[in-house]
Amino acid sequence: MNIRWRAGLAMAAALLFLASSSFVAARAVSATDEAEVRSRLEQAFQQLRAGDYNALYEALPSSSQRRIPRERFVTALERTRGMYELDRLQIGAMRVSGNLAAVDTVVYGRVRQPVATEGKIVVRQYLMREDGQWRVATADRSTIRRLLAGNPTLARRFPPSEPRIYIKRDGRWMDIGSLSAARRHMQQ
């Protein structure tokens, strides 16, 4: 083998190694981001479940904290505490893009009032990274709109959607929205 051919082969091997290690590193960063997002969602769920609303307030982005004072946030959640009992969180499809994440989730629990039954909420959660930490921005529509406007690819794949609430009736999940619509139709 001539020297040039060996040098070219060595250069090609080095480039292939660099390219593959860059891909692995990029994938590792994404896996780390996804693990951090998952962990933050689970932590926020446990705080909500335990009634630790002060700690949950800290999970909000600073823009949300500026709009709603801690006392109002905590008081609003405390008023609903006896109406439900949370059981578990199911995390589905997830996409992390830079400092923004969208995650499809299902929250299972039991409704206590007005009628005792099993319930679930299907909701798309949005998180943003702020000061190196993931913050849950799900309920803050104006923040979500602003974030998604800056990330149209994520917005197309995970557009905002209204939460869907279900209760269990005769062993089947019934969408409360469809029950309400049927009731309104029958009253007309």
Q: What is the pLDDT along the chain (188 residues), one digit of tens a residue?
A: 454 544 444 444 443 343 333 333 344 446 788 999 999 999 999 999 999 999 999 999 998 899 889 999 999 999 988 888 999 999 999 999 888 899 999 999 998 877 889 999 999 999 999 999 999 987 667 777 777 888 788 788 888 888 899 999 999 999 988 655 555 545 55
**pLDDT of amino acid 118:** 94
Contacts of residue 40, Cβ cutoff 8 Å, sequence gap at least 6: 59, 127, 133, 134, 135, 136
Fold of 3-187: Nuclear Transport Factor 2; Chain: A, (3.10.450)
Full-model pTM = 0.75
**pLDDT of amino acid 188:** 56
**pLDDT of amino acid 183:** 54
**pLDDT of amino acid 24:** 38
Q: Is 107 exposed, middle or buried (0-12, 13-18, 19+ CB in 10 A)?
A: buried
Q: What share of the chain is helix, strand, coil (3-state, %, to 5)?
A: 55, 30, 20
Query: Alpha helix locations (H) across 51-140?
Result: 53-57, 62-67, 70-80
The amino acid at residue 40 is R
Cα–Cα distance, 145 to 124 (Å, whole number): 13
42-44-47 Cα angle (round to 5): 110
Q: Is 100 exposed, middle or buried (0-12, 13-18, 19+ CB in 10 A)?
A: buried
The single residue listed with the structure tokens 């998952």 is 38
Q: Which residues pair with 121 in a beta bridge?
A: 107, 165
> What's the gap between Cα 129 and its chain centre?
12
